[in-house]
């Protein structure tokens, strides 16, 4: 039976729950989760994600990654799509967030907010009949920058799987700060950015279209940038781009907007809850639009 896209998208985004998002953030962002300095706290955040995925009825996989002398897992789930007739690969869309922080910051916005969105989206999409597969993951080592070893391990695993074709990836990178004040770009800081690489035009078009259809009251600014633009490489999307996947990061603007960036004041009480809910809705809408349409096989 054909899936009624319009009604499905509206119904699904309405399920995003503010209380559940905030509960994840309050559990995870009790203190810093720096990969080395707060290794136990980082691991506790990974285990929280593992439990939340399991409670959603999914079976999380753990892929251990070692960097800077410590080991932490990428924790991820797949909501399988019906895909394409064999031997064609199953189209796959990926959403990630990072659970590590810089030393000294509880990282409620950066990036417990992204982790909360990934976990809430997993709860809503679990068991849904999809055409393309959706992979949802929380990763360590984002704050190391450069090679993004957590995201890179996941990207490697997915890209090398001959049974799938990764069509798009978004890193949920800070979804919890909005302000009516004009930010450094001269606009009130209450819209979500989607910063994508050149060549990710379909991803950008899908993201805009999903947001406009199902979260119409919420402003999204989506654009592509050359891969050598400094700020486009500031999150885990860089690891997927390097492996040929159209990719982007969704963000509240980080230090272009929030005064709490990488500070001890990045706490749950400072999260803009309305903005967080709408940001999670837009990410879910993008996955619904991408994974429920007839795949190109
Ligand atoms: Zn971050």
Question: pLDDT tens digits for 100-159?
Answer: 999 999 999 999 999 999 999 999 999 999 999 999 999 999 999 889 999 999 999 999
Rounded Cα distance, 70 and 33, in Å = 13
Give residue 270 CA to ligand 1 midpoint distance, Å.
16
Rounded Cα distance, 205 and 194, in Å = 11
Model confidence band, residue 5 (pLDDT cutoffs 50, 70, 90):
low
Residue 215 has pLDDT above 90, yes or no: yes
For position 230, what pLDDT does the model report? Answer: 85
Residue 282 has pLDDT above 90, yes or no: yes
Give residue 173 CA to ligand 1 midpoint distance, Å.
5
Give residue 18 CA to ligand 1 midpoint distance, Å.
21
Model confidence band, residue 7 (pLDDT cutoffs 50, 70, 90):
low
Rounded Cα distance, 111 and 279, in Å = 13
Model confidence band, residue 8 (pLDDT cutoffs 50, 70, 90):
confident
Give residue 236 CA to ligand 1 midpoint distance, Å.
9
Q: What is the 3-state secondary structure (H, E, C) of the chain?
A: CCCCHHHHHHHHHHCCCHHHHHHHHHHHCCCCCCCCCCHHHHHHHHHHHHHHHHHCCCCCEEEEEEECCEEEEEEEEEECECCCCCCCCEEEEEEEEECCCCCCCCCHHHHHHHHHHHHHHHHHHCCCCECCEEEEEEECCHHHCCCCHHHHHHHHHHHCCCCEEEEEEEEECCCCCCCCCECCCCCECCCEEEEEECCCHHHHHHHHHHHHHHCCCCCEEEEEECCCCHHHHCCCHHHHHCCCCCEEEEECCHHHCCCCCCCCCCCHHHCCHHHHHHHHHHHHHHHHHHHHCCCCC
Rounded Cα distance, 108 and 29, in Å = 5
Question: pLDDT tens digits for 47-96?
Answer: 999 999 999 999 999 999 999 999 999 999 999 999 888 888 999 999 99
Model confidence band, residue 189 (pLDDT cutoffs 50, 70, 90):
confident
Give residue 83 CA to ligand 1 midpoint distance, Å.
32
Q: Does domain 5-292 have CATH number 3.30.460.10?
A: no
Question: pLDDT tens digits for 14-34?
Answer: 999 999 999 999 999 999 999
Q: Which residue has the tokens 């005064």?
A: 259
Backbone angles phi, psi at 92, to 5 degrees: -135, 135
For position 295, what pLDDT does the model report? Answer: 84
Interacting residues of 244 by C-beta distance below 8 A, sequence separation 6+: 159
Give residue 250 CA to ligand 1 midpoint distance, Å.
11
Give residue 179 CA to ligand 1 midpoint distance, Å.
19
Give residue 110 CA to ligand 1 midpoint distance, Å.
5
Angle between helices 201-214 and 273-292 (to 10 degrees): 120
Give residue 256 CA to ligand 1 midpoint distance, Å.
13
Residue 184 has pLDDT above 80, yes or no: no
The residues whose Cβ lies within 5 A of ligand 1, an ion, are 110-111
For position 150, what pLDDT does the model report? Answer: 98
- Tokens, residue 271: 């999260």
Model confidence band, residue 180 (pLDDT cutoffs 50, 70, 90):
confident
Domain positions in the chain: 5-292
Give residue 131 CA to ligand 1 midpoint distance, Å.
31
Alpha carbon dihedral 255, 279, 266, 33, in 10-degree steps, equals -100
Give residue 126 CA to ligand 1 midpoint distance, Å.
26
Give residue 143 CA to ligand 1 midpoint distance, Å.
6
Give residue 88 CA to ligand 1 midpoint distance, Å.
35
- Identify the sign of the CA torsion 149, 139, 179, 205: positive
Give residue 133 CA to ligand 1 midpoint distance, Å.
25
Residue 1 has pLDDT above 50, yes or no: no
Q: Which residue has the tokens 């749950």?
A: 268
Average pLDDT, integer, range 195-219: 96
Give residue 174 CA to ligand 1 midpoint distance, Å.
6
For position 87, what pLDDT does the model report? Answer: 80
For position 2, what pLDDT does the model report? Answer: 44
Give residue 279 CA to ligand 1 midpoint distance, Å.
15
Give residue 76 CA to ligand 1 midpoint distance, Å.
18
Give residue 95 CA to ligand 1 midpoint distance, Å.
14
Give residue 244 CA to ligand 1 midpoint distance, Å.
22
Model confidence band, residue 6 (pLDDT cutoffs 50, 70, 90):
low
- Tokens, residue 203: 């991803």
Give residue 52 CA to ligand 1 midpoint distance, Å.
21
């Amino acid at each position: 039976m054909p899936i009624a896209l319009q009604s499905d998208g509206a119904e699904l985004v309405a399920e995003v729950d503010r209380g559940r998002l905030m509960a994840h953030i309050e559990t995870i962002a009790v203190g810093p989760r720096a990969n080395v300095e707060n290794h136990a706290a980082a691991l506790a955040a990974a285990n929280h994600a593992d439990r939340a995925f399991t409670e959603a009825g999914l079976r999380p996989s753990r892929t251990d990654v070692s960097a800077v002398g410590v080991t932490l897992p990428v924790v991820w789930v797949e909501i399988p799509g019906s895909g394409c007739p064999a031997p064609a690969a199953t189209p796959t869309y990926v959403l990630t967030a990072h659970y590590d922080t810089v030393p000294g910051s509880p990282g409620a916005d950066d990036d417990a907010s992204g982790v909360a969105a990934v976990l809430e989206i997993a709860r809503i999409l679990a068991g849904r009949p999809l055409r393309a597969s959706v992979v949802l993951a929380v990763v360590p080592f984002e704050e190391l920058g450069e090679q993004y070893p957590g995201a890179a391990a996941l990207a490697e695993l997915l890209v090398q799987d001959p049974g799938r074709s990764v069509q798009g990836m978004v890193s949920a990178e800070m979804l919890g700060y909005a302000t009516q004040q004009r930010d450094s770009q001269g606009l009130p800081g209450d819209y979500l950015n989607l910063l994508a690489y050149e060549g990710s035009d379909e991803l950008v078009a899908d993201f805009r279209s999903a947001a406009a259809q199902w979260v119409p009251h919420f402003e999204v600014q989506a654009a592509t940038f050359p891969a050598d633009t400094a700020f486009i490489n500031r999150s885990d999307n860089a690891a997927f781009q390097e492996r040929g996947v159209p990719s982007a990061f969704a963000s509240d603007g980080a230090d272009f907007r929030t005064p709490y960036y990488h500070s001890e004041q990045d706490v749950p009480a400072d999260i803009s809850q309305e903005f967080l809910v709408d940001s999670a809705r837009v990410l879910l809408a993008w996955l619904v639009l991408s994974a429920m349409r007839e795949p190109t096989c």
